[in-house]
Each structure stands twice: as structure tokens, then as C-alpha cells.
A and B are shown apart, each in its own frame.
Chain A
Amino acid sequence: MLRSIKKLLNDQGILIYNFQSHIDYSRIAEKCVQQCKKFLPTIPVMTVGQPIDGADAHHNIDLPATNKRVFGNKSKIWHNLARHMSYEITPWQRTIVIDSDYMVLSNQLEKLFASDQQILMHREWYDVANDTIHTIPVGKSDIDMLWATVLKFDKTSAVAEFFDLWQKVIANYGYYAKLFEFSSHVIRNDFAVSIALKQLMNHNSIDHCVIPWSICTTRDHVKVKNIDTNKIVLEDSKNSFTVNFDCHVLNKESLCDAIS
């Protein structure tokens, strides 16, 4: 008898991590889930950490190892060290992990689900306020940083190895910080995934794993003035402006305030 492949064809979904810190991340994650549901209605969403209303599924895990990050000008606790477990956590064959501060305002992510590349991440970032496109090196190395903000992966043996390498890089972060001359004070998943992928490819080109459009990002000094389902109104020292496509917001405090 032929096996039904109907379920397999739809075997894809979005993972969003949510851990409380000094910022009400649940509020941001809830907005993120709402945006996914609006623009990607056929794609299931699973939250990891603390549950969020509106998500299709939830996976409980304990608070991950503590990390620290500077918010404004103060160093605060930041729980960002669980995403390397996504391979074990995801129930789907094809998954996109997104940061909760990545505001989905289009169906652009559907293209990543349709792509057959096993791993995809952004490399170029578009500075929304200054109209510039940059890449960032990992410390003083020749490795270009990939953004862990949006990570598409399939469940394959190569990808399992990538996640294994990612965990090893985090476990030995101090070593890599010295090797590539970057700060070890804050563990950055962006650096960890970039090193892990480079290792997976035996230090050859990783161009085929790059999402072919830039990740739109607002810097810390750009504040979110207002957000609704279809647009974000941002403000910097020059003027306020509207963004109506997927956008990664670094100023989480103003994002949180704008959502309430």
C-alpha cells in the first residue's frame, strides 16, 4: 500500500523562543506569533520556553544558561542560549527559527520553506535608517557573520552535524573568541552559527546557505513609535518613517512599549 505523503508535504513550521528577562519578552513574542499567523496563516507556530497565546504548539524547556548583554548602557541578563537545541525540539522536517523581535510583515518567509537548501541564514543586513547594506566579520577573521535571527533548516544528517558543531562552539566560546579576536563577554549565536557552518563546510564557501535578500534591521537608537499588523512606524533623530516589510528590531524596549 502506498504511504500517504500529504502530512509530509506540510511538514513545516516556525519556532519562536520566549524567555522572560528585564524586558517583557512574552509581549513581544505574542506579537511575533500574531504577525506570523496573519502573513503565514498555513504555517504552524511553536513556542519554546514560556507559552504564548495564539501559538499552535508549545515546548517547555528550563531557562537556558545565563548570558549577559548591554541594553541601553546597562548590562542585563539575556536568555538566548537555547536555540542550538532547535534540531531536537522541532517536530517538523522543515523549520524556520525566528527571533521574537523579528516582525513578520509579509509572506516572504514562504520562499524559504519552498527552497530546497538545507540551511539558510542572512548574511547581508540592511540598515533601515541609513540605507546601507553591510556584512560583519566574525572578530578579525575572514569569516562573514551570519545572522541567527532567521534560520531555516531541514532535518538531515548534515544539519544535525551543524547543530552539533553549534553546541560545541558555544561550549568553547572563549577559545573561539581568542582565536578570532572577538569579545567573549556576550555569547552571540550569530558568531556561533557562522563558525559552525564554516566548519561544516570545511572552511569552504557557504554562499549557498545565504538568504538572497538582506535582513532589514533597525539599530538600537531607532525607536519604535507605533506598530500595527501591516506596518511599523520608526523614529530616529532625523524623522519618523514607516516600514512595511519584515524587520528585525534591535530596540526591544521601545518595541515592547509600542505593542502595549
Chain B
Amino acid sequence: MSQRRFAIKRDLNLLHQRCEAQMIMVYEGGMFRCDTHMVAYSLTIQSGDVILDVNHTPIKINDAQQFQQKVHQQHHMVMNEYAEEYKKIVE
């Protein structure tokens, strides 16, 4: 593998790792990974539902709409940053 290709691959891996960490959001003391699964799952949650966080701790979602909004915001923020950084690396 050429030096340039190796450097790109390494930088992309580092970026991926950083974004994985940034996907975590804290809500009502519980930690949630705002990945595609959670984005879809959050749409099914009703106010008052109890869901499990990443550490399998039950967390009551008092305001489902607010939770859904926060999950989407976090997901899109990380994805936008990923896209921006990705562009810089491969250019």
C-alpha cells in the first residue's frame, strides 16, 4: 500500500473512532448511542416509556418528543462532522 493510501486509511479509522465516541448522548442520567438503530427506535417511544441505556440501566423517558429531538440532533451533528472531516482527508 502506498504511503498516501496508508495515511488516508489511518486518518479515516481515527475519524471513525472519534465519531463513535461522539455518538453517545446523555439523557436523564442514562447514556444512549445515537446510531441509526436509536434514531429509528426513538420514533416508537411514547412519553412515560422506560428504555434501556447502553449500560442496560432502565431510564424513564418523560418527554418522548424531546428525547427524539435530542437523538436526531446528536446523530446529525456527528454525521455532518464526519462528512466534513472525511472530505478533508480524502481530498
Contact = CB atoms under 8 A, between A and B. Distances in A.
Among A106, A111, A212, A239, which residue has the most Cβ atoms of chain B within 10 A? Answer: A212
Contacts of B6: 238-239
A131 B6 CA distance: 12
A94 B24 CA distance: 20
A208 B21 contact: no
Interface of B: 3, 6-7, 10-11, 13-14, 17-18, 20-22, 24-26, 28-31, 33, 54-57
Interface in A93-135: 106, 108, 111, 114-117, 126, 128, 131
Among A114, A209, A213, A239, which residue has the most Cβ atoms of chain B within 10 A? Answer: A213
A210 interface: yes
Interface in A160-218: 207-210, 212-214, 216
Given A108-B22, A128-B14, 14 more contacts: A106-B18, A111-B24, A115-B30, A117-B29, A210-B55, A212-B24, A212-B33, A213-B20, A213-B21, A214-B17, A239-B6, A241-B7, A243-B14, A245-B17
Contacts of A212: 24, 31, 33, 54-55
A114 B55 contact: no
6 contacts: A114-B29, A126-B17, A128-B14, A207-B55, A239-B3, A241-B14
A10 interface: no
A141 interface: no
A131 B22 contact: no
Grouping DSSP codes into helix (H, G, I), strand (E, B) and loop, the A interface class, with mixed when no group exceeds half, is: loop
A238 B3 CA distance: 8
B57 A117 contact: yes
Interface residues of A, number: 25
Nearest to B16: A131
A42 interface: no
Nearest to A131: B13
A218 to B, nearest CB: 11
Contacts of A209: 55
Interface in A37-90: none
B1 to A, nearest CB: 10
Contacts of A245: 14, 17-18, 21
Contact of A208 (B13, B28, B55): B55
A117 B55 contact: yes
A244 interface: yes
B18 A244 contact: yes
A207 B29 contact: no
A131 B28 CA distance: 33
B5 to A, nearest CB: 11
